[in-house]
Chains A and B, each alone.
Chain A
Amino acid sequence: MYKPENCKYTKTHEWAFAEGGVAVAGITDFAQHEISDIVFVELPKIGAKTEQNKRCAVIESVKAASDFNAPVSGEVAAANDALAANPALANQSPHGDGWFCKIKMSNPGELDNLMDYAAYQEFIKQPAQH
């Protein structure tokens, strides 16, 4: 589990859990509710470059396709094969087994651009997010 309280958040509902220069990334519980049943995720390849707030993966439900934006810039160090095989993990455990990828950060300072847990909780209460 990457405890939600210890994560940082994008405005597009991705979380990042940073530890030792590597950020684990996934989607928030709010996002998985909005998307509803996830049927497919296209994960980035190991070694792919990411850029903060730019698409690095795709999430499909039955009726929609959504972009997954990288919460930080860097290089993909790992992708969650278990999620690729069973996309429902992102619904069942968005902060645990449903993580998307691990990114070796090129600029850890970017984490400051993200919201903390409290700010994100406020953010999703705004009506525009619904």
Chain B
Amino acid sequence: MPELLTRTELNPCKAEPQKLSIEKSAAGRRGLRLPASGRPAGEHLPAEQLRKTAPKLPELSEFDVVRHYTNLSRLNFSLDTHFYPLGSCTMKYNPKINEELCALPGFAAAHPAAPDSAAQGTLEAMHNLEKLLCEICGLSAFTLQPSAGAHGEWCGILLARAYHAKRGDAARTEIVVADSSHGTNPASAALGGFNVITVKSGPDGRVDVAELKKHIGPRTALVMLTIPGTVGLFETEICKISAAAHAVGALLYMDGANFNALIGLAKPGDFGVDIMHLNMHKTFSTPHGGGGPGAGAVGVTKALEPFLPAPRVALENGVYRTKSDYPDSIGRLRAFFGNTGVLLRAYCWLRQHSPETLRLVAENAILNANYAMAGLKDLFPAQYGGWCMHECVLSTDPATTGGVRTLDVAKRLLDYGFHAPTVYFPLIVHEALMIEPTETESRESIDLFVAAMRAIHAEALENPELLKKAPHTRPVKRLDEVGAARQPDIRW
């Protein structure tokens, strides 16, 4: 334990909280200088169009700005600096080459309204990416337009709506989700104008087919499932589930947030999935950027293809074209093509893989999660028996840990230099700790993490108060979230 807490990466030199940029401001100080125009705005615009008071922005030198944001960055845990086993978020290594390639001037300077003839390189990459995703998922077509996973879910919901409407079936007003689903599933369904029906998970953490059948029927438009589920398990009965959904005329949607467990191993199209989304910022290695941008490609079977959002990329006589003449399309989801920069990174990542190495991604993700679980489950019980997929869901039992809760364990992990796992999700697991190491972590880093968790468990028994006040070594201690919400201070 002392060894764990004295690792050099924990405090290379202690990072301190920073003043706000506006508090560092000095009147009249300048950063970037642009070539002077010399003509005030009033020479071009009438007085009533002119801004009266300057915006309250900081006045800083360029060096001030560089030092300020560099120092801010040092207050963060990140993948590049720390193990980050955040369950369901797939915090895998983000290859540096992808950052470099998507910033090539040919890609970065392309205007979205440029005619197709001037954007052939980007369009070719996007077309190739669509085809690769189709092959990996066993589906017939992909759209790259959605900006994130939730945007993709909502796209999928509109596709289901359009599909049933086209068949003249207006009675399908319900979407069935599992109680373990991400909150975005019911939120997207509601946004799509559907009533949300929640199915209770079975005792093994999976969807209970008999229970599901009670909730689906002629009113069901879509069954939405996360595969593998948020408890880290594959839906072993998936073929029965898809058959049951199809038997009542409903479609099956797969939330592909956890696709990292399946890539190169199995194709969702083979399970009877009709629509799915993939998170480029999870399985496909694009960085999370502190909360985004992501991209949420959506794949469909042949029957759903006519409804995909437009424009779409088509290859005609060796030329890539953006086409919008799809009469049944659900329309546009955003102003321009998509989060192209993110999609280019995902394309680069995919092109570096063969079928064998893709399979290794899934296999090592599964191996690492089970290895972490095996090292911890005697102290932090696993909610469900058996092996897990790419993530394991453990729990803290306050009754045996001196009242120490999952939140306290999570905060104490920060002192040991590990980002906490996802906590208190899925909602159906009491005191949940959801651990996803991903395939890019080495055995050594998981060993260290397991050792830290075990040390924390020992601390809980000896000195629970230490944990309840953790973290002790971060730039700030535990925060008053209630005060923040009661008296919102959200701007200077």
Interface of B is mostly: helix
By a CB distance below 8 angstroms, the chain B residues around A88 are 486
By a CB distance below 8 angstroms, the chain B residues around A39 are 482, 485-486
By a CB distance below 8 angstroms, the chain B residues around A61 are 482
Q: Does A116 contact B (CB under 8 A)?
A: no
Chain B positions 414 through 426: 1 when the CB is less than 8 Å from some CB of chain A, otherwise 0 = 0000000000100
- Expressed in whole angstroms, the minimum distance between the Cβ of A104 and any Cβ of chain B is 31
- Expressed in whole angstroms, the minimum distance between the Cβ of A78 and any Cβ of chain B is 23
Q: In chain B, residues 357-399, which have Cβ atoms closer than 8 Å to a Cβ of chain A?
A: none
* Chain A residues within CB distance 8 Å of chain B: 37, 39-40, 60-63, 87-88
Q: Complex: how many Å from CA A60 to CA B424? A: 18
By a CB distance below 8 angstroms, the chain B residues around A87 are 486
The 3 A-B residue pairs whose C-beta atoms are closest, nearest first, are A39-B485, A37-B482, A62-B481
Q: Complex: how many Å from CA A37 to CA B424? A: 18
- Expressed in whole angstroms, the minimum distance between the Cβ of A58 and any Cβ of chain B is 14
Q: In chain B, residues 427-485, which have Cβ atoms closer than 8 Å to a Cβ of chain A?
A: 481-482, 485
Categorize the interface residue count of chain B: under 10
Task: Tell me how many residue pairs across A and B have CB atoms closer than 8 Å.
Answer: 15
* Chain B residues within CB distance 8 Å of chain A: 424, 481-482, 485-486
Q: Chain A residue with minimal CB distance to B487? A: A39
Q: Chain B residue with minimal CB distance to A60? A: B485
By a CB distance below 8 angstroms, the chain A residues around B424 are 63
- Expressed in whole angstroms, the minimum distance between the Cβ of B179 and any Cβ of chain A is 16
- Expressed in whole angstroms, the minimum distance between the Cβ of A105 and any Cβ of chain B is 31
By a CB distance below 8 angstroms, the chain A residues around B482 are 37, 39, 61-62
By a CB distance below 8 angstroms, the chain B residues around A60 are 485
- Expressed in whole angstroms, the minimum distance between the Cβ of A60 and any Cβ of chain B is 7
| Max chain B C-beta neighbours (<10 A), residue from A39, A60, A88 | A39
Q: Chain B residue with minimal CB distance to A88? A: B486
**Given A37-B482, A87-B486: 13 more A-B contacts, CB < 8 Å:** A37-B486, A39-B482, A39-B485, A39-B486, A40-B485, A40-B486, A60-B485, A61-B482, A62-B481, A62-B482, A62-B485, A63-B424, A88-B486
Q: Complex: how many Å from CA A37 to CA B486? A: 9
By a CB distance below 8 angstroms, the chain A residues around B481 are 62
Instruction: List 15 A–B pairs whose Cβ atoms lie within 8 Å, in order of A's numbering.
Output: A37-B482, A37-B486, A39-B482, A39-B485, A39-B486, A40-B485, A40-B486, A60-B485, A61-B482, A62-B481, A62-B482, A62-B485, A63-B424, A87-B486, A88-B486
- Expressed in whole angstroms, the minimum distance between the Cβ of A87 and any Cβ of chain B is 7
Q: Chain A residue with minimal CB distance to B482? A: A37
Q: Complex: how many Å from CA A62 to CA B482? A: 6
- Expressed in whole angstroms, the minimum distance between the Cβ of B422 and any Cβ of chain A is 14
Q: Chain A residue with minimal CB distance to B424? A: A63
By a CB distance below 8 angstroms, the chain A residues around B486 are 37, 39-40, 87-88
Q: Complex: how many Å from CA A9 to CA B486? A: 28
Q: Complex: how many Å from CA A37 to CA B482? A: 7
Q: Complex: how many Å from CA A87 to CA B483? A: 11
By a CB distance below 8 angstroms, the chain A residues around B485 are 39-40, 60, 62
- Expressed in whole angstroms, the minimum distance between the Cβ of A97 and any Cβ of chain B is 16
Q: Complex: how many Å from CA A61 to CA B482? A: 8
